[in-house]
Amino acid sequence: MSVPVPTYNGIPAVGLGCWMGQPGASEEAYHMVREALKIGYRHIDTAFGYENEEAVGRAIRDSGVLRSEIFVTTKLPNQAHHRVVEGFENSFKNLDIGYIDLYLMHWPCAADDSGRQLSPKEGRDFVEVWEDMENLLETHAGKVKRIGVSNFSITLLEVLLPQVKVVPAVNQVEVNPYHPQIPLKKYCESKGIQIVAYGPLGQTRRTFLEDHEVVAVANKYGISPAQVCLSWAVQRKTIPIPKSSNPERLKQNITLVTLAEEDFDRIENLHKEPGKHRSSDGMTLKVPGSVWGWTMQEMGW
Ligand code: A2P
């Protein structure tokens, strides 16, 4: 039997991720957001870097759903680390929805105007960027409700947190059954930072959806492997933001079950099996051909 989507720290516990696998794809994003709002999604996640804020905002305005019922996140691009106000105002204007619920620093590292990733020495210190985001809360009160970070490891949070006036509301990182981020999750929980999970279905690296344990749990409940992963994510108090352009899968992704403890534990412990710890985020892996030519560790992050 499906259970209603809860709210964690004032945020609907399943969101719609609007990274379309490539920048732009605005018309597809528009239709996806319209459909999602129609079937009950109330949390939409986008970013300046996705190049679809305008379409996402238009879909929200056209939806007929009250603005106050929708939680909307967007993100500061790496190219704007040294001009936070301008970065925010660009997103604010693109979305054109009155206010932004949550504004995230997309990555701890800056990039130059061509998108080239800057080393910690070349780019602006993320603590200073965070200070500008804190100031934004004061100078743009009413336009932005909360601020947070994305792709921050424990190491980086340990640098940031002793220096903040405002604790980040959220750390958005990649989380899935093969990359459950257990230490980071525990750390964030201890600091009152909500984890939002991107790539909860593995983006394009989705082997865990075919994992025999996941499939076995799915068969037991008569649901899909994706629903197992998303139910697990919500049950462990993270907020997954799956993307789907397909109306049937969109519906699946907010139709969750409560897993029995033994089944929850099977998924929670999956990453301990040999070969099942896959991590694909910029924090830990090289992404060939992308701007992320180096791992965060190699960069000294
Ligand atoms: P599609 O948009 O065709 O549904 P993530 O959210 O981890 O980034 O993963 C997104 C990918 O997962 C997309 O390729 C999306 O494709 C696919 N996807 C979304 N929902 C489901 C689902 N319920 N079952 C299988 N694949 C899904």
Q: Is 246 in the pocket of ligand 1 (CB under 6 A)?
A: yes
Distance, first Cα to last Cα, the chain? 44
Q: What is the arithmetic mean of pLDDT over 293-299?
A: 50
Token reading at 173: 């990182």
Tally: H helices and E strands in the chain: 10, 10
89-108 pLDDT, tens digit each: 999 999 999 999 999 999 98
What are the residue ranges spanned by the domains of the chain? 7-272
ipTM for the complex? 0.98
Q: Quote helix, strand, coil % in the chain, to nearest 5.
A: 40, 15, 45
Burial 234-255 (b: 16+ CB within 10 A, else e): bbbebbbbbbbeeeeebebbbb
CA 19 to ligand 1 center in whole angstroms: 11
Count other Cβ atoms within 10 Å, centred on residue 189. Answer: 13
pLDDT attached to residue 16: 98
Rounded to whole angstroms, the Cα distance separating 53 from 73 reads: 10
Q: Specify whether the CB–CB gap between 282 and 107 falls below 8 A.
A: yes
Nearest CA to ligand 1 atom 11: 203
User: Domain 7-272: which CATH class?
Assistant: alpha beta
More confident residue, 111 or 266: 266
Determine whether 41 is an active site residue.
no
Q: Specify whether the CB–CB gap between 76 and 105 falls below 8 A.
A: yes
pLDDT of 170 above 80: yes
pLDDT of 205 above 70: no
Q: Specify whether the CB–CB gap between 175 and 278 falls below 8 A.
A: no
Q: DSSP of 21-58, one letter per residue? A: SSS--HHHHHHHHHHHHHTT--EEE--GGGT-HHHHHH
CA 249 to ligand 1 center in whole angstroms: 7
Q: Specify whether the CB–CB gap between 76 and 103 falls below 8 A.
A: yes
